[in-house]
């Protein structure tokens, strides 16, 4: 159901984009084709932006995605429709609309699509929080599938992360911890730039540490308020 609802979001977004492009005097098939350019670029932006740690990296990424969108739109106008016409399919002549090479307009669409999908996914997490969904990832070139409830915490080690289960098993993976945070949802909490914990197996050991299935993990100053909010103010040490 979650997957179908995520697909429904992008279909609705495509329909809305087609309506907007229709107001720019594009035909329905042209509007749909151009609209499909935005979806993968918005998804790419949503996936890669959390991985950009430095502010300038985020700027460069945003500029690269914007440039990619403009390039694809120009290619559609100058090459694809020309080729379709040569094969006998009627396509009216159409210059690139100035709005479609306007960085502000494009950034607005991409940002709306990305944030819309992000918050839609968050809502779906809450709506279907009782479903113990499985996650599948690669560890040492092997596919691994775990239920979310089996994961105790995720630890980031710069170039890779370590997924530790409640039973003590450990797996390595290249996906960034910010992406794991989005993937695992609201049942998990970030307590440090290097640690993401399962709330159901965690208790507050002290103002600066959390006990996760018998393992003490540090809490950074940035996340202390969130940790106290979710785990309480107990400062007692674990046995």
pLDDT score recorded for residue 93 = 54
pLDDT score recorded for residue 233 = 65
pLDDT score recorded for residue 227 = 92
Residue range 176-219, pLDDT digits in tens:
998 899 888 888 999 999 999 999 999 999 989 999 989 999 99
User: Which residue has better confidence, 4 or 132?
Assistant: 4
CA angle 214, 232, 123 (to 5 degrees): 95
CA dihedral (2, 223, 136, 41) in degrees, to 10, reads 60
Residues of the chain with CATH 2.40.50.1020: 134-231
pLDDT score recorded for residue 237 = 38
- Name which of 50, 49, 149 is nearest 107 in CA terms: 49
Tell me the CA distances in angstroms from 218 to 21, 24, 176, 180, 196, one per residue in order. 50, 54, 19, 19, 11
pLDDT score recorded for residue 11 = 92
Q: Which of 62-66, 93-97, 155-159, 214-218 has the lowest mean pLDDT?
A: 93-97
Q: Which string of DSSP letters, residue by residue, matches 120-135?
A: HHHHHHHHTTTS--EE
Tokens encoding 130 = 């009782």
Query: What backbone torsions phi and psi does residue 144 show, to the nearest 5 degrees?
Result: -125, 135
Residue range 1-48, pLDDT digits in tens:
677 888 899 999 999 999 998 888 888 888 888 889 898 899 888 888
pLDDT at 235 over 80: no
pLDDT at 114 over 60: yes
Per-residue confidence at 134, pLDDT binned at 50, 70, 90? confident
pLDDT score recorded for residue 185 = 82
Instruction: For the chain, report the end-to-end CA distance as a whole number of angstroms.
Output: 42
In the three-class reduction of DSSP (H, G, I as helix; E, B as strand; rest coil), residue 13 is classed as helix
Q: How many Cβ atoms from other residues are within 10 Å of residue 168's Cβ?
A: 10
Of the options 3.40.50.920, 2.40.50.1020, 2.40.160.60, 3.40.50.720, the CATH number for the domain spanning 134-231: 2.40.50.1020
67-92 burial: b if 16+ Cβ within 10 Å, else e: eebbebbeebbeeebeeeeeeeeeee
Mean predicted lDDT score pLDDT of the chain: 84
């Amino acid at each position: 159901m979650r997957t179908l609802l995520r697909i429904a979001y992008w279909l609705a977004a495509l329909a809305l984009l087609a309506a907007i492009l229709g107001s720019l005097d594009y035909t329905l098939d042209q509007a749909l084709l151009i609209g499909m350019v935005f979806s993968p670029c918005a998804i790419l932006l949503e996936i890669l932006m959390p991985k950009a740690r430095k502010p300038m990296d985020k700027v460069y990424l945003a500029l690269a995605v914007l440039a990619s969108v403009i390039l694809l739109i120009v290619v559609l106008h100058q090459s694809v429709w020309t080729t379709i016409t040569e094969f006998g399919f009627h396509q009216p002549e159409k210059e690139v609309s100035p709005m479609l090479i306007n960085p502000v307009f494009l950034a607005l669409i991409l940002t709306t699509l990305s944030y819309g999908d992000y918050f839609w996914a968050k809502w779906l997490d809450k709506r279907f929080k009782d479903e113990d969904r499985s996650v599948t990832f690669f560890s040492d070139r092997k596919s691994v599938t775990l239920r979310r409830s089996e994961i105790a915490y995720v630890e980031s080690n710069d170039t890779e992360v370590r997924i530790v289960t409640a039973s003590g098993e450990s797996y390595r993976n290249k996906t960034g911890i910010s992406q794991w945070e989005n993937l695992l949802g609201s049942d998990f909490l970030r307590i440090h730039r290097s640690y993401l914990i399962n709330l159901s197996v965690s208790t507050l050991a002290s103002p600066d540490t959390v006990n996760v299935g018998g393992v003490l993990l540090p809490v950074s100053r940035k996340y202390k308020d969130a940790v106290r909010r979710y785990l309480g103010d107990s400062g007692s040490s674990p046995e």
